[in-house]
Structure 1
Amino acid sequence: MHSQRVESVRILSPSGMLGAGWDHATIERGIALGADVISLDAGSTDSGPYYLGSATPKTTAKAVARDLRSLLTAASAAGIPVIIGSCGTSGTDSGVDWVAAIAAEVMAEEGLDLKVARIYSEQNATDLKEHLDAGRIHPLPPLGELRAETLESCTHIVGAMGHEPIVEALRAGAQVVLAGRATDTAVAAAYPLMKGMPAGPTWHAAKIVECGGQCTSNPRAGGVLATIDADGFTIEPLDPTVSCTPISVAAHMLYETANPFEMREPAGTLNVRDARYTAVDDRIVRVEGSTFHNADQYTIKLEGARITGYETMSFSAVRDPIVLADIDAWADLMRTMIRQRVGQTLGLADDEYAFDLRLYGHNAVLDDLEPESGPPREVGVMLLVNAPDQATATAVAKVANPLMLHLPTPEMAYLPSFAFASSPAEVERGAAYEFVLNHVVDCASPTSLFRTEMGEKTRA
């Protein structure tokens, strides 16, 4: 894979996530339009800490295989590389190996012979404690200073790589790069940066294409093609019936950013304050004026999750108009009664377990920010119990069972009946996790925290 400078680079981004699916015709159209590389994210922290904490993929293997078949057959025929980041949802080492094994099966079935690079991003707590002791780990808001015990408590820790390990793999001849945890933008920025494209337009284009068609008039219709050159970039949808507009493209800088004008990467900061968004026609948008400022210190963001306990869930539905007339008072009574019954029956103090009562249909989403008023028509009551072990969590939920089924208001002269969503009413959810790392580590080099292996990885 040569890295000589070229006049432009075209990035094909088929979707926001591997396993989400797309119409293969859009991939074919992107290839026909001259795509130089296919880049795709395969993970996120959006779905919570479970996937990192347990190293479990969010997607199913069949969906990943379907998408890989579309990508690998098209890329092989066109002779262009495929780059996939945050494999296995959270980017753990096992997640990279899982995607690599599926890719190996697809290539065997399709008769493809592609050189695969696996980049591992999982971090060792012992090594990180050395960085901590040396003062090289710093907190990001809202977290405070990191303690060594926090590192030790994590079941899995990953570092979000920048583009450099990916470039290194491409230069080593990789045709398929399967990376662990990476910034969404690094996956798309790596190839054009390697080819000498300017950093400002490249990082900005990478941000816009990270979610595929989300920057278009119909996000469900497929991905986009971004063409980066010396002065900026253009972006167009892969579906000919869909459009990009200056507003739809500019708006994506609002997505998952604390500042709509700046975005931090390991190597520095993208600044789009002076960016100009111009409609080339009714489908294509041109962007110029983006800049990138290198940081004095290269940093890698750490993500880590640990077990907080074990959960059991119960869910019932309330339709009784008397209860619903003051559902907040009824919920307060429910909380009081659960604590009393658990103490009487199980002998547990309040600090030996925890529970959350969520009223879906009444403020469960916005809570005190909910602008609507008046009693709801029906409410789903979710009880989520957390305890140090599964048996205790389920015991608490079982003690609450009669209350979730029949708790009356103080004014009621009868027992109301509510409806459980399932039988049995208690659903054991297993270990629950929480994110505990939102820190960066100062790095001696952009690749020092990551390990790359070449060749296929088959399933064990």
Structure 2
Amino acid sequence: MDRVRIMTPTGMLGAGWDESTIERGLALGVDVITVDGGSTDSGPYYLGSATAKTTAQAVARDLRSLLNAAARAGVPLIIGSCGTSGTDAGVDWVAGIAAKVMAEEGLDLRVARIYSEQAPAALTGQLDRIHPLPPLGDLTAETLESCTHIVGMMGHAPIVEALRGGAQVVLAGRATDTAVAAAFPLLHGMPAGPTWHASKIVECGGQCTTDPRGGGVHTTIDAGGFTIEPLSPGSACTPYTVAAHMLYETVNPFEMREPDGTLDVRDATYVALDERTVRVEGSRFHLADQHTIKLEGARITGYQTTSFTAIRDPLILADVEGWADLFRHHLRLRVTQTLGLADDAYAFDVRLYGHNAVLGELEPDAGPPREVGVMLLVNAPDQATATAVAKVANPLMLHLPAASMHYLPSLAFAGSPAETERGAAYEFVLNHVVDSDPTELFRIEYGVVR
């Protein structure tokens, strides 16, 4: 092939789009349809619990659109990081929805499922091949065993293998966002520099356009570079919006590491071909001496209960930090008195939304806030203890006066009951890479999950 045309309808499966943008993409000509299915952006819960951020209804709607489009165009459909975090359960979840949609639409497409979940015991035997990324240190077997789920972040190679196996639909576990789009053009001989750069730009669909809500993008990769334009006629790609996306989720705006090398865009040029189309040339890709796979793992840190109240009292808000310190003091005291718990038997956090909750000490505006939302987040080894601590905090969050006040204030709870049990809380504990062959950690199975 002397060029590869990619349609990326959105930044994440389940986000939705106007169907007219799909029709426009097909009219422009398409060789492959790609879309990301997940991310770690939303925190460790989705990996730790192996559940999806998106709803089944939204995923089914998007799959119906894409499966029909792929069948009409006779091109592959590639979806990465299925089920948000790319666990085996996430892949099977998306595959099950796809099977139902295809049965309803009368489609007969060959499906490949690529599994990326890793067994702690297997990784324990490879500790000499696993290396930490800052700021973590060497990995231990105990850390691996503490994880509820571990995934390896695949590059393009397993997807290429599935395509070579005749897959018309590839449902991949955890994958780099870029690998989802890069696999097909690399398979068909497109140069690595433009391919990886284009794949980085299209990863979030319309985010590289002037209207990120307007839909996805259409990209053409050839021997000299790539050309990109939005699927929505009301949007545009400009040199600014395209170049700016290299700053998104990267440590270095000129480099980005993939499992088998590093994208280098220092010499890239961005030229507007017209009011809505951009041409990019000069991107390079440097192969690494060692292929590595990044590991992601999450474990349970305890169980959480939250409460939320709102403060408008100007005397409290005149020194809301002092009030928060007073709250912390009285809560610890009352928990000891009523529940008999030592301070190390639970943990809690008080977040003052409306006063430095987001920027903290970096907040540039001085002066007291007009209103503050107080979030209490309690973490304990079990749900009952977390809720008990939050219940002890209830009267303090409703009536605690500031030290200078001589009356009992009434604050405002967000709901009744004031306490909300959030269940298990998770944390990421792996930031490591394993020296690996591009495909050895991943398993490919063909056929649908019914």
2:358 match: 365
Question: What is the TM-score normalised by the length of structure 1?
Answer: 0.97
User: How far 1:246 moved relative to its partner?
Assistant: 0.5
2:147 match: 154
Alignment partner of 1:455 is 2:447: yes
The count of aligned residue pairs is: 450
1:421-453 Cα distance to aligned partner (Å, 9 max, x none): 11111101000000000100001x210000000
Q: Percent identity?
A: 78
Output the CA distance in 2 between the equivalents of 1:275 and 1:142.
Answer: 31
Segments of structure 2 that go 5 or more residues without pairing to the other structure are: none
Alignment partner of 1:327 is 2:320: yes
SS at match of 2:275: coil
Which of 76, 79, 89 is the aligned partner of 1:94?
A: 89
Which of 401, 416, 421 is the aligned partner of 2:414?
A: 421
SS at match of 1:364: coil
Which of 166, 174, 179 is the aligned partner of 1:181?
A: 174
User: How far 1:299 moved relative to its partner?
Assistant: 0.3
Output the CA distance in 1 between the equivalents of 2:125 and 2:23.
Answer: 49
Which of 429, 434, 438 is the aligned partner of 1:446?
A: 438
1:209 match: 202
1:263 match: 256
User: How far 1:109 moved relative to its partner?
Assistant: 0.7
RMSD (Å), alpha carbons: 0.6
1:344 match: 337
User: How far 1:412 moved relative to its partner?
Assistant: 1.0
Alignment partner of 1:85 is 2:80: yes
1:57 match: 52
Counterpart amino acid of residue 377 in structure 1: R
Pairing of 1:283-432 with structure 2 (within 5 A): 283-432=276-425
Which of 120, 125, 137 is the aligned partner of 2:115?
A: 120
Output the CA distance in 2 between the equivalents of 1:226 and 1:144.
Answer: 40
User: How far 1:411 moved relative to its partner?
Assistant: 1.3
Output the CA distance in 2 between the equivalents of 1:243 and 1:251.
Answer: 14
SS at match of 2:308: strand
SS at match of 1:46: coil
User: How far 1:28 moved relative to its partner?
Assistant: 1.1
Output the CA distance in 1 between the equivalents of 2:161 and 2:22.
Answer: 26
2:65 match: 70
Counterpart amino acid of residue 229 in structure 2: E
Superposed structure 1 runs of 4+ greater than 2 Å apart: none
SS at match of 1:63: helix
Which of 116, 132, 138 is the aligned partner of 1:139?
A: 132
User: How far 1:387 moved relative to its partner?
Assistant: 0.3
1:267-302 Cα distance to aligned partner (Å, 9 max, x none): 100000000111111110000000001100000000
1:3 match: none
1:13 match: 8
User: How far 1:396 moved relative to its partner?
Assistant: 0.4
Counterpart amino acid of residue 356 in structure 2: N
Which of 186, 189, 198 is the aligned partner of 2:191?
A: 198
User: How far 1:12 moved relative to its partner?
Assistant: 0.5
Pairing of 1:165-176 with structure 2 (within 5 A): 165-176=158-169
SS at match of 2:180: helix
Which of 102, 107, 111 is the aligned partner of 1:107?
A: 102
Output the CA distance in 2 between the equivalents of 1:261 and 1:410.
Answer: 53
Counterpart amino acid of residue 3 in structure 2: S
1:94-124 Cα distance to aligned partner (Å, 9 max, x none): 0000000000011011111100000000000
Which of 422, 427, 438 is the aligned partner of 1:434?
A: 427
Which of 40, 58, 61 is the aligned partner of 1:45?
A: 40
Question: What is the TM-score normalised by the length of structure 2?
Answer: 0.99
